[in-house]
Amino acid sequence: MTNELQIYIDGKYYPKSEAKISVYDHGFLYGDGVFEGIRAYNGVVFKLKEHIDRLYRGAHAIMLNIPMSKEEMVQAVVETLRKNNMKDSYIRLVVSRGTGDLGLDPRKCPKATVIIIADTINIKAGNASETGVTALITWVRRNPVDGTTSEVKSLNYLNSIMGKLEANAAGADEAICLEQNGYIAEGVGENIFIVKNGEILTPPSSTGALEGITSDAVLKLCDKLKIKVTVTNLTAYMLFTADEAFFTGTAMEVVPIREANKRVIGSGKPGPVTKKLMVEFKKVIADPANGVQI
């Protein structure tokens, strides 16, 4: 009897220490594949269908054939959680091009590899929800939309990792990337929002920002709360002089940004609009209607 996590690989379960894939897997060799980071709260997988839709959209865009239906994928995620007795979890769903040989031609990989890990995550710095995080606008530009587009949640995260390295070196909690024209795109694993005069502004996906599932939930909340949202290009100046700013993401949820490149944003404390959205977002994730029951 083992208490080890059971990891799903291609329809079978393996204890964490034995959950391995081939070194010839093109996900490993070339970052060729797609993934999702998903959360389960209190026995409900938050927005599971939306995450799986995005996974399949990304796979379609990179011509990766996922060898199971969306419904089967939903079931596989749920079953992995059940197997691990997990009610609150961070789920990493990975579909790689699969095992091939050396040489990047995807035709060498006959079948995609599907991996589901149900574990936990803690990426928020300290008590980030109360104090907010510090951020650095880095020189690392978001991948251009006509390059390795960030719209596909691909296994190639070097762009984000480069940004994160710069933030680490500068002693900032998080990195913010600009797009090719110098407008703000997003964080390295989060979407970004600013608040000015009680209204919310956020960059368009044409900046290469991922169409975040958390950001979508927050936008719907704003609609419900009658908070005006404008999707528009944001400059560094607009961030520095905002009343409030916050990130959204599956891992981060909604987290205030208190400082960017050493400029204090607003009061330097979580502002009223951010706080309101944090409270309301907690209700959204607690509502079983917003996910799939385990």
Catalytic residues: 153
Residue 256 sits in the site that holds ligand PXG (CB under 6 A)? no
CB count within 10 Å of CB 283 equals 10
CB of 232 to ligand PXG, least distance (A): 18
Q: Which of 251, 263, 269, 280 binds ligand PXG (CB under 6 A)?
A: 251
Closest CB to ligand PXG among 215 and 274?
215
- Give the 3-state secondary structure of residue 183: coil
**Sole window of 71-79, 124-132, 205-213, 279-287 interacting with ligand PXG (rule: CB under 6 A):** 205-213
Other Cβ atoms less than 10 A from the Cβ of 47: the count is 22
Question: Is the separation of the CB atoms in 185 and 142 below 8 Å?
Answer: yes
Nearest approach in angstroms of CB 103 to ligand PXG is 28
Closest CA to 208 of 233, 229, 244: 233
Tell me which residue has tokens 């399949």.
56
Picking from 68, 114, 78, the residue whose alpha carbon sits closest to that of residue 291 is: 78
User: CA–CA separation, 28 vs 22, rounded Å?
Assistant: 8
**Helix 272-286 with 213-225: angle, nearest 10 deg:** 110
Sole residue written with tokens 């920002």:
209
Segment near ligand PXG (CB under 6 A), from 3-11, 165-173, 211-219, 258-266? Answer: 211-219
Tokens of 62: 């990179």
Of 210, 234, 255, 284, the one binding ligand PXG (CB under 6 A) is 210
Ramachandran bin of 8, using left for φ above 0, alpha for ψ from -120 to 50, beta for the remaining angles: beta
Q: In 3-state terms, what secondary structure has residue 198?
A: coil
Interactions with ligand PXG, residue window 215-244 (CB under 6 A): 215
Among 33, 249, 266, 291, binds ligand PXG (CB under 6 A): 249
C-beta closer to ligand PXG: residue 132 or 212: 212
- The smaller minimum CB distance to ligand PXG, of residues 161 and 269, is found at 161
Nearest residue relative to ligand PXG (C-beta): 37
Residues 139-178 that bind ligand PXG (CB under 6 A): 150, 160
212 binds ligand PXG (CB under 6 A): yes
Question: Does residue 86 belong to the site contacting ligand PXG (CB under 6 A)?
Answer: no
| Residue found by looking up tokens 């309301």 in the block | 280
Question: What residues line the site for ligand PXG (CB under 6 A)?
Answer: 37, 123, 150, 160, 186, 189-191, 210, 212-215, 248-251
